[in-house]
Amino acid sequence: MKTQSTIAISRRALSTVSTVSSVSSVSSVSSVSSVSTVSPFSSVASVSSVSSISSVASVSSVSPISSVSSVSSVSSVSTVSSVSSVSFNSNQPQPSLLKFVPPHIPANSTDSERLRDFIFTKKKLLCLTGAGISTESGIPDYRSEGVGLYATSKKRPMQYTDFISSEAFRQRYWARNFIGWPSFAALRPNNSHQFLADLEQRHPDILLWLVTQNVDSLHVKAGSQRITELHGTAFKVICLSCGHTTPRTEYQSELRALNPGFQVAQPVLRPDADVDLSDEEIAQFKVASCGKCGEGVMKPFIVYFGENVPKSRVDFLYEKVDECDGLLVMGSSLQVYSGYRFATRAAEQKKPICIVNIGSTRADHLSTLRFDRVRCGDLLANVKI
């Protein structure tokens, strides 16, 4: 029975889906001839494929964000109130920040109008974001063609069981994360994060809730408050013995105190602040245990592969799906079931689903409006709110 109803929904969706901006090939993609601007990740190895990245024609006076308050205590579920907003003066990121965006084409104003129409005809919009929304902030995603972690490296994200079962593994993990942290923590939200924060602030009657699969807390830095960080946040650590949580910035100071002088020239950053270190470097590193109970193992407040999202968090979000009158997915392949399930739930209820994602997604057949090959920031730049 379940299969039949899913097929029926898929047929409905297929008959109404409009694919916007699709192109038969990416031959129109123009190249960035020189990406000389220094970014937090200027030493990243995977920049070789930058030549296939579409150019931003006018990158005029991008003003750096003046102040981003540190996300010291980010609640992973529901309201986050302690992080002040940051503002942007430009809709276009610096070219160097586009090096992790896969090949794409320019968005046009018709696309933006159609997206605006989708958003502004809703009274309870649920928004789901993934790693793709943060590539324009300089963080690689996993599955992007050419520039994502899976395309550029044999390294795979940490498995929960590895972290739990091996002290050597934890030493390796924290040594690498310690080096990568300052760059990761300094990353700025881009205009897509800002768009969603502004939408919430200016149109609280439209945006019901935002759920992100990202752990970078860039939505929180941008000022979003009605937000659930589905997979937690890298900005907190938790003791696996007593449950005590500590801001990641404080834990960094503890690690620094234990490892004075531990540093690496030109680290190569991956998602989640991971960097490459040699075995000799790792062997010197000392891991700090829980500051409260004194001996507990500290783990990032992140749901890792092989670990389940807490049921209460999932149930809360299913309620939001049930309550919403439309789902907007941005920058996620939805390959991970954790996020995909919300799209299937919305489709079961015949709710309109708009997907903005450069590459294909697992829920394309469920979408009623689809923007492919365009990057979020470009499309949203002309969506007036």
Ligand X SMILES: NC(=O)c1ccc[n+]([C@@H]2O[C@H](COP(=O)([O-])OP(=O)(O)OC[C@H]3O[C@@H](n4cnc5c(N)ncnc54)[C@H](O)[C@@H]3O)[C@@H](O)[C@H]2O)c1
- Residue 239 assigned to a binding site: yes
Place of tokens 């992007």: 144
Which of 12, 116, 124, 292 forms a contact with Zn ion (CB under 5 A)?
292
Confirm whether 231 is a catalytic residue. Answer: yes
CA angle in degrees (0–180, nearest 5) for 318-321-323:
110
Token pair, residue 46, equals: 């995977």
Q: Is 215 in the site for ligand X (CB under 6 A)?
A: yes
337-348 helix and 2-16 helix, angle to the nearest 10 degrees: 80
Nearest to 190 by CA among 217, 168, 218, 169: 218
Q: What is the dihedral of CA 43, 47, 48, 51, to 10 degrees?
A: -140
Place of tokens 């969706």: 13
Site for ligand X in 48-77 (CB under 6 A): none
Q: Is 244 in the site for Zn ion (CB under 5 A)?
A: yes
- Residue 376 assigned to a binding site: no
Q: Is 335 in the site for ligand X (CB under 6 A)?
A: yes
Token pair, residue 64, equals: 């750096």
Nearest residue relative to ligand X (C-beta): 132
The continuous run of DSSP H or E covering 378 comes out as helix 376-381
Name the E strands within 321-383.
Answer: 326-330, 353-357, 369-372
Nearer of residues 226 and 375 to ligand X, judged by Cβ = 375
Which of 42, 70, 241, 382 forms a contact with Zn ion (CB under 5 A)?
241
**Residue 242 binds which one of ligand X, Zn ion, none, with CB within 5 to 8 A depending on kind?**
Zn ion
Binding part of the chain for ligand X, among 11-19, 40-48, 84-92, 213-221 by CB under 6 A, reads 213-221
Nearest to 268 by CA among 47, 103, 101, 51: 47
Binding part of the chain for Zn ion, among 8-16, 23-31, 222-230, 294-302 by CB under 5 A, reads 294-302
Place of tokens 């030549």: 51
Token pair, residue 376, equals: 């979020």
**Residue 332 binds which one of ligand X, Zn ion, none, with CB within 5 to 8 A depending on kind?**
ligand X
User: Which residue among the candidates 193, 203, 231, 244 is catalytic per the annotation?
Assistant: 231
Binding site feature residues? 239, 242, 290, 293
Catalytically annotated residues:
231
Q: Which residues bind ligand X (CB under 6 A)?
A: 101-102, 130-132, 134-136, 139, 141-144, 148, 213-216, 231, 271, 331-336, 338, 357-359, 375-376
Contact residues: Zn ion, CB under 5 A: 239, 241-242, 244, 290, 292-293, 296
